Amino acid sequence: MPTFAVSPGLNPVLQTVLAAGLVGIIVAVLAWPLGTWLARVFLDERHWRVERAVYRAAGVDPDTEQRWTTYAVSVVAFGAVSVVGLWLLIVVQGWLPWSFDRSQTWHGAVNTAISFTTNTNWQSYAGEAGAGHSLQLLGLTVQNFLSAATGLAVAIAVVRAFARAGVDRIGNFWVDLTRSSIRVLLPISVVAAVLLILGGVVQNLASPTEIVTLSGEAQTIQGGPVASQEAIKLLGTNGGGFFNANSAHPYENPTPWTNLLEIVLVLLIPFALTRTYGLMVGDRRQGRLVAAVMATLFGAAALLTAWAEASAATAPTGSMEGKEQRFGIAWSVLFSTSTTATSTGAVNSLHESYSPLGGGLLLFNMMMGEVSPGGIGTGLYGILVMAVIAVFIAGLMVGRTPELLGKTIGRREITYAALASILMPALVLTGTAISLVLPQARAALLADGPHGLSEMLYAFSSAGNNNGSAFAGLSADQPWLNLSMGVVMFVARFGIIVLTLALAGSLVTQRRRPVTAGTMPTHTLTFGFLLVGIVLLLAGLTFFPSLALGPLAEALS
């Protein structure tokens, strides 16, 4: 098996530094032109011929822009219709070709439909056992595109609110959705799928094959359209897995080179959007500042997690429990950090087997709201909400009217931003608390004590942040967990979107205030430190008690 040119004798933390440096260089090189292309896509006043065909079929006037209320209604309505349509497809998949008798419970189907529509891709079912090829292609892969395109569209609408002044329109959701899918996600996914196939990822419509192993035991080898789903699940920060083992499965992620490619795909668009933001608001320094904040939070999380895993065992290699030998600690940690710092549920190692501190850090990545760099679109508008809160607090400290890009942050704006920032923690903590007092939910836990709390807390944090990864010890395929987590996924996704669009609607109507000597610059190192501090402070104050009872208590025991 080919490996990267990193000596196994190196400390895992140093290996992680080298690995993160390689990934960082590749992402930076690719994100620069991609960010420029994204800005051109959404500033272009012309429509492609194929896009016009979509608009005619949908009855949409692409030249009419929407107020924030209409934009929000369009997003939520599209999400609701998608949930119903996908649920019906899951229920009837037994009558579709290439189903191979795959099935899900009705409440599991509800969970799956909400999960893939909200860009979460939490799976209460084993990937290869619960979804046949037709469902994978017609339902799950399609929603991987549409859910990612929805997040990207909302982010662009929010950026327009900062870029425009004195108007009441933030774009057209249907145009943004279509362009995101056709001009961005589809072409990159095709290239990524071809690269994955060349790297050994499976792509076929084969039925399961029975073989006899060297030990004489029977084993089922499952094929399928894996590469096509793998490409968009990672590029769109969706997550989920064609196979139950996810990206630890050799058919999904066969070599260290495909592992590198998959990490790059996860991080590419979230970081590229920071350049798009700078270009669209007319100040590239703003985009660079946001990218630096995201990279700082990401890098610190990766290094701390590597240190935790390196210190969890006396062996020079650190703790390899739950990790693939072909990836080692560094590339396992980097993959896990990339997917928990974005809204990507893919895993190439077992988070349940991480050390208490390592697992707690992966959990904290999600608790920050996944803004380091966050999911496709969600990371950018999430960090902009944090920036609104940061300038408001800074204004209170120095006694000046808070402004961000010439827009005043007043009572209405900070109300929307505050509500958007507390909705996810409220859902996560409430869902976790109720589940821990219900006997049927507690019975789903593999462990008890602090680790059991971590399993449940991780599940609802994953749902509330539309992530999709799991502490795999939780047996989540039961009515309460399927339905309650479905509610959390839907409300967290669309509730935050509505509040963020309300903030955008308030900002876009404002006239831009001129820069004066009293204006606080929001592109400087000082503001960057403030923004990092606000992200950590809000997450820490909200979740520290639960972390203290879970991962921290387990680490100290």
Q: What is d(CA 214, CA 543) in angstroms, rounded to the nearest whole number?
A: 50
pLDDT of residue 311: 87
Question: pLDDT of 152-169, one tens digit each?
Answer: 999 999 999 999 999 999
pLDDT of residue 401: 81
- For the segment 15-41, the average pLDDT, to the nearest whole number, is 97
Instruction: Answer yes or no: are the C-beta atoms of 469 and 347 closer than 8 Å.
Output: yes
Range with the poorest average pLDDT among 239-243, 415-419, 522-526: 239-243
Q: What is d(CA 65, CA 42) in angstroms, rounded to the nearest whole number?
A: 13
pLDDT of residue 8: 52
pLDDT of residue 5: 42
What backbone torsions phi and psi does residue 58 show, to the nearest 5 degrees? -90, -5
- For the segment 333-350, the average pLDDT, to the nearest whole number, is 94
What backbone torsions phi and psi does residue 54 show, to the nearest 5 degrees? -65, -45
- For the segment 194-212, the average pLDDT, to the nearest whole number, is 89
Instruction: Answer yes or no: are the C-beta atoms of 552 and 360 closer than 8 Å.
Output: yes
Decide if pLDDT at 9 tops 60. Answer: no
**Average model confidence (pLDDT) across the chain:** 93
Decide if pLDDT at 504 tops 50. Answer: yes
pTM (whole model) above 0.85: yes
Instruction: Answer yes or no: are the C-beta atoms of 274 and 288 closer than 8 Å.
Output: yes
Q: What is d(CA 325, CA 255) in angstroms, rounded to the nearest whole number?
A: 11
Helical packing angle, 356-367 and 328-340, nearest 10°:
30
Q: Where are the alpha helices (DSSP H) in 65-205?
A: 68-91, 106-117, 127-130, 133-135, 141-163, 173-179, 186-198
Instruction: Answer yes or no: are the C-beta atoms of 557 and 454 closer than 8 Å.
Output: no
Question: pLDDT of 425-480, one tens digit each?
Answer: 999 999 999 999 999 999 999 888 999 999 999 999 999 999 999 888 888 899 99
Domain spans in the chain, listed from the N-terminal domain onward: 12-282, 378-556
Question: pLDDT of 367-404, one tens digit each?
Answer: 999 899 999 999 999 999 999 999 999 998 887 889 99
